[in-house]
Amino acid sequence: MGKENDIQWHLGFCAAMELELREYADRLEFHREYPLSRKPLLIDLLVVEKTGDFEIANDIGQIFQKHNIMEYKSENDTLNEDTYFKVMAYAYLYKSSEKYVGDIDINSITITLVRERKPEKLLRWFKENSYKVYEKTSGIYYIEKDGFIKTQVVVTAEVGEKEHIFLKTLKRGLKRSTVDDFLDKAFEMHEPFEKDCINSLLGIMVSSNQELFDSIKNGGTGIMNDVLREFFKEEIKANEEQAMNRGWKKGMEKGMVEGMEKGMVEGMEKGMVKGMEKGIEKGIEKGREEGRIETLYTDCNMSVSDIAKKVSKSEDYVKEIIKKISAACL
């Protein structure tokens, strides 16, 4: 299981938000870890509207103005009033960072705070300090006070999975149903930036849910789809090469035995040599074939029909090999 400090949650969050707002990709600019100064002072994600002639239907983006500062906290990170004022400071630094005075209107800036767990103490602090707090939609809380920057708190545990599947994957203890919903959605995406974001998210999901993905790869929870096969392609290729080597060795051994038996039956030295050569050749080819089928079935978790297409054999032939492999494991 990946350690908390080793998992790049913020990278996953940026990818998730870009996918959340992918419908507006040509009208928004996404700046990951936007630098506020020469020293390492970074905004997790800055979303800038290129034009002001459109509205965002996504309920996380409904609050957006021209400049939108997003701060993400992983499931075990603290989100309190100090976090809020830190991000407020980011907003004012960002406003003052432009070349000319007034280039950025303070009213064109919004703040979004995101965490999986609901920050009960922070929401209570807002109320106790005369902020207006209300739930705009499920899991999205608006924070309003005269003279302060518009703010929303997004609780990913409470937002709808169907509407926000990408943000819902940023946690440990994922359910297989959530992974399936994510993969179904990912399968529909073909743009290069979408695929890059999908791979970033998958990296976080696998690191933080290793047991689940090991189970998926090993066949414990169903068949992998093309998105996962692509993500694990190097690992699958390595497994297939290992199986091919095992198949080669088995083929050599089997071919030598069959060749010697055939040659001895013919009773002639010439026949023995030819029989061995022919038997070895057939045995090697068959062993390699069986090794490949074994890998595609056990390591790559492919269906019989997919394997048959991959190796250009009938489904009945593949079933027979799988039956043989299964019997050998008993």
Q: What are the two backbone dihedrals, phi and then psi, of residue 304, each rounded to the nearest 5 degrees?
A: -60, -45
> Shortest CA distance to 323 belongs to which of 287, 302, 297?
297
Model pLDDT for residues 166-208, shown as the tens digit of each residue: 999 999 999 988 988 888 888 888 888 888 888 888 888 888 8
210 and 312 both lie in a single domain: no
245 and 212 both lie in a single domain: no
- Strands annotated E in the chain: 28-35, 42-49, 67-73, 109-115, 132-137, 140-144, 150-155
Question: How is the chain split among helix, strand and coil, in percent rounded to 5?
Answer: 55, 15, 30
The domain boundary, picked from 195, 221, 247, lies at 221
296 and 159 both lie in a single domain: no
The domain boundary, picked from 169, 186, 221, lies at 221
Model pLDDT for residues 285-329, shown as the tens digit of each residue: 777 777 777 777 776 667 788 788 877 888 888 888 888 777 665
Q: How far apart are CA 279 and CA 154, in angstroms?
A: 67
pTM score over 0.75? no
How high is the mean pLDDT of the chain? Answer: 80
Number of structural domains found in the chain: 2
The domain boundary, picked from 196, 221, 246, lies at 221
First to last CA, the chain: 31
The residues pairing with 150 across neighbouring beta strands, listed in sequence order, are 110
Q: Which domain holds residue 152?
A: 4-221
178 and 309 both lie in a single domain: no
97 and 202 both lie in a single domain: yes
| Total Cβ atoms within 10 A of residue 52 | 10
Q: How far apart are CA 309 and CA 316, in angstroms?
A: 12
168 and 258 both lie in a single domain: no
pLDDT at 281 over 70: no
CA-CA distances (angstroms) from residue 91 to 6, 87, 276?
A: 28, 6, 79
Q: How far apart are CA 52 and CA 107, in angstroms?
A: 14
247 and 271 both lie in a single domain: yes
280 and 316 both lie in a single domain: yes
40 and 163 both lie in a single domain: yes
